[in-house]
Copies of this chain bind each other. A is one copy, B any other.
Amino acid sequence: MSSPRMTEPPAGRTRMEDIARLAGVSVSTVSRALAGSPRVTGDTRERIEAAVRETGYVVNQVAQGLRLQRSRQLLVLLPTIANPFFAEVVQGIEEAAGAAGYGVLVGSTEGDPAREAVLARQLLTGVVDGLVLLTGRLPDGLDAPARAGQVVAVSETIEGIDLPTVAIDNQAAARAAVDHLIALGHRRIAHIAGPRGNVLTAQRIAGWSVAAGRDAALVFGDFTMASGEAAMADLLARSSSPTAVFCANDEMAIGAIKAARDAGLRVPEDLSVIGFDDISFAAFTYPPLTTIRQPRRAFGAAAVAALLDGHSPPNLAYTLIIRASTAPPKG
């Protein structure tokens, strides 16, 4: 019934010494052969390679990491793996890192500082060489590695430290979203924002309010669909409800559309909705969602370039994607 539990004593893996014995050489020679050194040649090299093939030997990355003080691995920290926005950023990172011979691991913090600390330790203790933060926060104790160029922020600026940061100009992008609504003729443009205290939230609010006006309606959400739905319901219950709403991400926009429909409103005829991010689902909502696209694969590539080559990343370009959830207001 019960399988062989993950045994405390690990399987006796084949070591370099085993290869050396099989090939009749010393461990150093094996190591050099595997590293591709020109110092080991001909017959010796062949015997070693044969032994490796035969045993399926792979070098122990833990021992290698200890000796070299380098793992050739990157860790991506994100708030939650459940948000599809991060997925494509990760894919971009994987692509660029892979091309440079680096592996990529992902850690999900769920906003929990304890989990953050555990994951940050992977960098502090050399399990990984670099950290990509999509969390908007620098975990404790990472100031030194950050100054050493081992940490880069993506999508969201991190306050209190000068980190290379890969992002778009969020304020300008938010303003572009609102300008689109204004160009359609909207005047009462509400905003469903991210959580308070979040840098992205503040930047997008800033971009929205400068275009939408000071007295426009603002509700805070938490980037989930459920929060977008609740926020929209809140907005619709007010005395003068908006003709358009700008949501700080696509998931909240999807929630907002649902709330509007449940209240008997048609989108976009009665209410225009614009999102942010252009996650894959945005093109498949009903109606398809107008949104601001962030260049996620480019984010990933720029992040890796920053870590590996020390390039300091420029602001990347966003794009307004006009679909069918926005239209001129009635009347």
Contact = CB atoms under 8 A, between A and B. Distances in A.
A280 B227 CA distance: 13
Contact of A108 (B5, B90, B119, B280): B90
A307 interface: yes
B124 A2 contact: no
A31 interface: no
Tallying the copies of this chain within the complex gives: 2
B107 A104 contact: yes
Contact of A65 (B62, B104, B150): B62
A104 B306 CA distance: 26
Contacts of A11: 144-145, 148, 150
A110 interface: yes
A164 interface: yes
A311 B2 CA distance: 5
Chain A interface main SS type? mixed
Interface stretch (A34-42, A126-134, A188-196): A126-134
Contact of A61 (B80, B121, B147): B121
A239 interface: no
Interface stretch (A169-177, A178-186, A281-289): A281-289
B2 A312 contact: yes
Interface in A12-43: 13
Contacts of A80: 87, 91
- Please indicate which of the listed interface residues A98, A115, A124, A164 has the most CB atoms of chain B within 10 Å of its own CB: A124
A94 B69 contact: no
Nearest to A8: B70
A215 to B, nearest CB: 30
A225 B245 CA distance: 26
Contacts of A127: 61-62, 127
Interface stretch (A44-52, A200-208, A254-262, A268-276): A254-262
B149 A3 contact: yes
A313 to B, nearest CB: 9
A148 B110 contact: no
A210 interface: no
9 contacts: A3-B312, A6-B130, A7-B148, A10-B70, A11-B145, A11-B148, A61-B125, A94-B110, A103-B122
The 6 A-B residue pairs whose C-beta atoms are closest, nearest first, are A5-B310, A82-B87, A4-B149, A106-B106, A61-B125, A286-B286
